[in-house]
Each structure stands twice: as C-alpha cells, then as structure tokens.
Amino acid sequence: MLFGIALFPEKEVQDAANSWRLRHDPHYCNIPAHMTLREAEEWDDQKLKKSVEHLERVASAFKPFEITFNRVSTFFPARNILYFALEDPSEVIRLHEAVCSGPALQQASSYVYTPHVTIGRDMASDELHDLYGNLRMSDIRLTSLVDRIHLLYQTEQGGWTAYQTFQLKG
C-alpha cells in the first residue's frame, strides 16, 4: 500500500488554499490542502509497523509550534507549481528531517525539501506566470498551529485518508 506523511494546517489556511486549488490543482479532490513531510512510498506491513513506532517517538519529541505563511511562491522552472510559502520554515524542516530518519528513511530526492502548501499545479506556463504575477502582490499572513502529523494511505479510488494521527507532545 502507498503511504505518505503530512501535516494539515488549520481551517483558515485550508480555506485560503482551497479557494485557489479548486480551479488550479487537479489533486484537489484527492487530498485536503496539506504540507508533505515525507513523499509517498509503497510499504509492507513490517515497514508500516516500524514507521508507526518511529512516528510515535518523533511526535513525543516535538512540541506543538506555530507557522506563518507570508507569500506565494513558485517552483518554476523545475515544476509549474504555485504555493503558500512559510515565513520561517526551520521548525517544519526539523520535523521533516526527524520524520524521514530511521525506519521512515526517504530515498534521496532530486529536490531540496521546501515546506509549502500547494495552491496550483500542472498549469500551462502562461497561466502560472499570470497567476503568480497577481498573487505575489497580495498581502498574505496566515498562521496555523502544528500540533499533529498524519500517516496517510492512498485508497483504491486515488484519494488519501489518515491511517494514524500522532499528537506532538514534546
């Protein structure tokens, strides 16, 4: 089964992201607005069991923390993706590094991990530049408490749902 690890921002951030995702993100129907902590990968029962134990340890080591999205950015030209970017990504990066260690070790990626909430993907370059040009002038200040992480699995219909949630307890 395909598993991934994510965090979901609070409703205000989700609503703001979803207002753009509805039209500009083909994954809108498959998963709510989120921040990926670990890319999806096929896991067998043994890897799943070890990863759940690992995530319990990680969650007990981290205190809840607040994040602030302060701008729209893009991964262009590498990928035609628009996203809400963090004012200070350091705590999410620390959480990502902890999650992606031990049994949940992630294969080397060709991308540098950049915590974000996607608001548009797979757009034509012209559409991406037009939208980015408008949105980068916007005054964005969205905050969210991060107090849990979610182990997700992909359903047969292609959607993602929570397998288990881990409360940050630090």
Looking at the annotation, which residues are catalytic? 34, 116
Asked whether 54 and 103 are in contact (CB, 8 A), the reply is yes
- The 3-state DSSP class for residue 112 equals coil
End-to-end CA distance of the chain: 30
Cis peptide bond N-terminal to 32, omega within 30? no
The tokens describing 29, both together, are: 């129907």
Measure the CA–CA gap between 41 and 26, rounded to whole angstroms: 20
**H or E element that contains 145:** strand 142-146
